[in-house]
Amino acid sequence: MSIQFDSINLGSSMVGPKHGLDPAEVQAAQAKAFDALEGFRASFDQGRYGFPALPSRSAVQRQILACAAAMKGTYDTVCVVGIGGSALGAWALDCGLRGPHPVQAAHSSANPRLVILDNVDPEFMQQALASMNPARTVVVPIAKSGSTAETMATFLVVDEWMKQALGAKKASARTIAVTSEGRGDLKAFATANGLTAFHIPENVGGRFSVLSPVGLVPAALAGLDVKAVCRGAASMTQQSWAADLSTNVALRSALYHYLILSLRKKTIQVAFPYSNRLWGMAFWFRQLWAESLGKANNRKGRTIFAGQTPVAALGATDQHSQVQLYMEGPNDKVFSFWATDRWNTPGAIPKAKANFESFDYLAGQSLGKLIDAERNATAAALTAANRPNCTYSLGRIDAAHLGAFIQMLEFQTAFMGELMDIDAFDQPGVEQGKVFTFGLMKRPGYEAYAEAYKAYEKKRSRN
């Protein structure tokens, strides 16, 4: 299991002193990195944050696998009802291990698909229901608070659809709730309806929860190798506590990203996987990075409007969509290539010549070689244009490496929060939109926000 981080193209010798880091700057900041490690370790030891321990909670993992084993064969679709951190981890794992949707193998009870209802678009919902058979579906509502409006609304629709078709008892037997243990209406609903429930540790937030039941229940039901994912992640946890920048990839990459953001003002990070299987992971990372680091105030209470905007780009595809901007637009980005050292299949290009110059040089080579060449060529071109870039390499794309990469990115984010002196684990900024929504939907107790919204509309009407 190997995750490497190549920072060479972040250096001033490669992209110039205006956009790259001087080795002396990196050297001078090393003490800060070790402080970050210590700071986060102390919080962990106090029990404030639980994600580092998730991969080694083998008892829970066994319960989840036993639950999936008991239901195996009775469903061809796992319908996840969740949004944000309650949806993206399952997608990242599914896409990573079985490929993106349009080309996934046909689903069956031997190969159940995931349908993730992570939006309240009524047309999307209608189509999703039409595509599923209630008698062959397991429903997994996921909400830590147990009161997320989108998730509750979607679950009400899906639950009714199940009950209409199967009756209340059978529907409940096919519904598995993932929520907080001691609180929230989803938990109360689960208890009242006799649902199987798995619990999210209180010290694990949504975007750090993929290796809790939030990600593992859907993954296990879909037949993914949950054990290997956790094994890879556990090994990375160990690696990430080491006070050694040469082996601690999460700490080293956090340091580089911190410096390139704070000293060189690269306010955008392009997560640039060269693999369709890593596309879901890029969207999972987008939440992790945006929601953790986008903070108005630092831990001293000073207003700093911190953060780095994550952008997901897919290589080689987006070379034909975004790279023009990346090469010639504002030099406000750092690029993180995500690569695999080894392809599970080479993708041989036929040997026969077509007698056309644009085809024939490719004959007998492979798609794997081509996509690697595209990535290397793009890194070289960006470097020549003084655009700082770095590369994360996975030994290969399999369950253990995905688990390790997930855990590395979570540690990196936690360290980044320490380096930026912000709280990487809260999300106060989403509150305002939530309460306006509750007001507009007439939730009791939110009348004042309905009034505030009216005042906003009135102000708009004067323009």
Residue type, 93: L
Query: Which range binds a copy of itself by CB under 8 A, 38-46, 65-73, 125-133, 195-203?
Result: 125-133
* Spatial CB neighbours of 136, under 8 Å, sequence gap ≥ 6: 74, 75, 76, 77, 109
Q: At what angle do helices 226-240 and 58-71 cross, to 10 degrees?
A: 160
Q: Which of 109, 359, 447, 451 binds a copy of itself (CB under 8 A)?
A: 359
Q: Is-cis flag, bond preceding 316, omega within 30?
A: yes
| Edge-to-edge order in the sheet of strand 137-143 | 113-117, 77-81, 137-143, 176-179, 196-199
Least distance from a copy of itself to the Cβ atom of residue 95, Å: 11
Residue type, 293: L
- Does 135 bind a copy of itself (CB under 8 A)? Our answer is no
Q: Is 199 a catalytic residue?
A: no
- Does 110 bind a copy of itself (CB under 8 A)? Our answer is no
Q: Which of 18, 300, 458, 460 binds a copy of itself (CB under 8 A)?
A: 460
- Does 356 bind a copy of itself (CB under 8 A)? Our answer is yes
Question: Residue 188: phi, psi to the nearest 5?
Answer: -60, -40
Q: Is 401 a catalytic residue?
A: no
Residues 191-250 that bind a copy of itself (CB under 8 A): 206-207
- State whether the Cα torsion 422-427-433-439 is positive or negative: negative
Residue closer to a copy of itself by CB (options 194, 347) is 347
Residues 148-167 that bind a copy of itself (CB under 8 A): 148-150, 152-154, 156-157, 160
Residue closer to a copy of itself by CB (options 46, 463) is 463
Q: Which of 66, 263, 347, 448 binds a copy of itself (CB under 8 A)?
A: 347
- Does 274 bind a copy of itself (CB under 8 A)? Our answer is yes
- Does 133 bind a copy of itself (CB under 8 A)? Our answer is no
Least distance from a copy of itself to the Cβ atom of residue 440, Å: 4
Kindly name the residue from 18, 300, 320, 458 that is annotated as catalytic: 320
Residues 434-453 that bind a copy of itself (CB under 8 A): 434, 436-444, 453
> 430 — alpha (psi -120 to 50), left (phi > 0) or beta?
alpha
Q: In whole angstroms, give the CA distance from residue 148 to residue 186.
A: 9
Residue pair 147/186 in contact (Cβ under 8 Å)? The answer is yes
- Does 59 bind a copy of itself (CB under 8 A)? Our answer is no
End-to-end CA distance of the chain: 59
Residue closer to a copy of itself by CB (options 35, 121) is 121
> 263 — alpha (psi -120 to 50), left (phi > 0) or beta?
alpha
Least distance from a copy of itself to the Cβ atom of residue 266, Å: 12
Q: In whole angstroms, give the CA distance from residue 386 to residue 380.
A: 10
Q: Please count the other Cβ atoms lying within 10 Å of the Cβ belonging to residue 430.
A: 11
Q: Is 434 a catalytic residue?
A: yes
- Does 294 bind a copy of itself (CB under 8 A)? Our answer is yes
CB-count exposure of residue 32 (10 Å: 0-12, 13-18, 19+):
middle
- Does 463 bind a copy of itself (CB under 8 A)? Our answer is yes
- Does 373 bind a copy of itself (CB under 8 A)? Our answer is yes
Residue pair 285/402 in contact (Cβ under 8 Å)? The answer is no
Residue closer to a copy of itself by CB (options 182, 330) is 330
Kindly name the residue from 150, 291, 410, 418 that is annotated as catalytic: 291
Least distance from a copy of itself to the Cβ atom of residue 287, Å: 4
Residue closer to a copy of itself by CB (options 66, 380) is 380
Residues 296-315 that bind a copy of itself (CB under 8 A): 296, 305-309, 311, 314-315
Least distance from a copy of itself to the Cβ atom of residue 126, Å: 5
**What amino acid positions are annotated as catalytic residues?**
291, 320, 434
